[in-house]
Chains A and B, each alone.
Chain A
């Protein structure tokens, strides 16, 4: 099994392409372009926190930092994870409320 390198590569490449097509299909399946460019659905702070932070790493508990420290840490992660101001604020409000 380990010697059939080209097969492994083919499976991975096809898999990645399929994921892309699937993702674009989900985008195309939206009801209308107007709806696509509409304002984002309001998500709770804990939802935004979970959907964005957990994409890369396990999440530290809200009491890991003080409110002031979270302010700095979340700004750092906003830049790294390409978050919007609304998403940054939602995460911060959740962390401060739960702290």
Chain B
């Protein structure tokens, strides 16, 4: 099938889906109940009903004993309002309500897997038609396992299943145990999302990311900042009057330097069995001067080397700004993001890396959703615009600077389920541009 027809077909399908959905009632967010849970709740209900009948009987017997003999026939129902319940019934009703709440809480608490464990996560299915490659469908599944092991101890883990070529690729996104030291400090250990990279730590899951793909500086072999760290971290938040400060500092294995091939000079962040004793130290401070605005600064200092090379310093900085809020006069939600990162790696003094190894990149994105609009279908539509870029060292084997302009349109079925469509205008220096049409259906559960 001609790819242009396919694109029009998919866009048409998206529009039809949006219209059809808006014409229906909102999908209920209630959970399904298993047969076993249903039977248990039914049993609890029957038991409660019996107890209520017994209480009612006892109450009536009590009232009969306490009430004086009737002196006159009762008034017709329409003649006077029905009398208030006797004072003696009030405590009994309160007792009954308390008991009902206790039973409800017990029923909730005994649901399997919900007392200390929660399975959540996200999944997405997409379609990409890139100018320089073949069009293809894709899918990703990322369950997140959460265990609350006590008031202070917590474990979170996320395997990521992706389809790559002819295989299903599995990555451990994070496996992270934390301990709350006090109200403002948490100690964490394991593999965790990179705290110095705001986009990756907070915004990359498909049901949160407004576009189907990830900005240039954070993906692929030329990435400036890592997706995750393997080590220890200290993090927390401190309110400062009307403002607040969030922080996270870590020590980790850090990256290694690729010293040969076409990606020589780039960093390999998958350094799980550290190749040296040099570690990376980094972190991020996020400042919230007014509600809904966060400004952040992140950094990382690492000693890196390739095979047989001397260790050199790799220093990364990043600044980010995020502003998200519902604006009455715009009748909707405004979501602004920007992040800029730059990296400098010292020269280890070998021929293949004999160039000034500096790279930088970033993105700025704005999204608007008319969530306060009067027309129902508009409330769930969201327009997105993003500009992202990546500058590479001029004399490196991989040196094609790139910039992209992406426009997107999303339809939100629920707060965590969206159908996204986007078109990317690509501009590569000295290489063929890679314009792309992207679609993604993403859900968080």
Contact = CB atoms under 8 A, between A and B. Distances in A.
Interface of A: 2-3, 5, 8-9, 12-13, 15-16, 19-20, 22-24, 26-27, 30, 35-41, 51, 54-61, 63-69, 71-73, 75-76, 78-87
B236 A84 contact: yes
A30 to B, nearest CB: 6
Contacts of B156: 76, 79
25 contacts: A15-B321, A16-B319, A23-B289, A30-B241, A36-B240, A40-B244, A41-B242, A51-B291, A51-B292, A55-B292, A55-B324, A56-B208, A57-B415, A57-B444, A58-B416, A61-B415, A66-B108, A66-B114, A68-B114, A72-B117, A73-B120, A75-B154, A76-B154, A79-B235, A84-B237
User: What are the nearest 4 A-B pairs in CB distance?
Assistant: A82-B246, A40-B239, A58-B415, A82-B237
Contacts of B188: 79
B403 A71 contact: no
Contacts of B186: 78-79
A98 to B, nearest CB: 13
Contacts of A39: 239
Nearest to A17: B319
A44 to B, nearest CB: 13
Contact of B248 (A8, A12, A59, A82): A82
B322 interface: yes
Contacts of B108: 66-68
Contacts of A36: 240-241, 243
Interface string B283-295: 0001101111111
Contact of B427 (A2, A26, A38, A85): A2
Contacts of B148: 71-72, 75
B235 A82 contact: yes
A78 B246 CA distance: 11
Interface in B183-202: 183-184, 186, 188, 201-202
A76 B299 CA distance: 24
A26 B243 contact: yes
A57 B116 CA distance: 24
B407 to A, nearest CB: 13
Nearest to B193: A80
Interface in B230-259: 235-244, 246-248
A8 B389 contact: yes
Contacts of A72: 114, 116-118, 146-148
Given A8-B389, A68-B108, A68-B109, A84 B295 contact: no
Nearest to A23: B289
B294 to A, nearest CB: 6
A19 B405 contact: no
A27 B108 CA distance: 45
B190 to A, nearest CB: 12
Nearest to A35: B241
Contacts of B218: none
B241 A37 contact: yes
Given A40-B242, A60-B416, 12 more contacts: A12-B338, A15-B321, A36-B240, A38-B241, A66-B111, A68-B111, A68-B114, A72-B117, A73-B120, A79-B188, A82-B246, A85-B183
Q: Which of B29, B109, B322, B405 has the largest number of chain A CB atoms within 10 A?
A: B29
B240 A37 contact: yes
B295 to A, nearest CB: 5
B411 interface: no
B241 A2 contact: no
A5 B237 contact: no
Nearest to B207: A57
A37 B412 CA distance: 41
B365 to A, nearest CB: 11
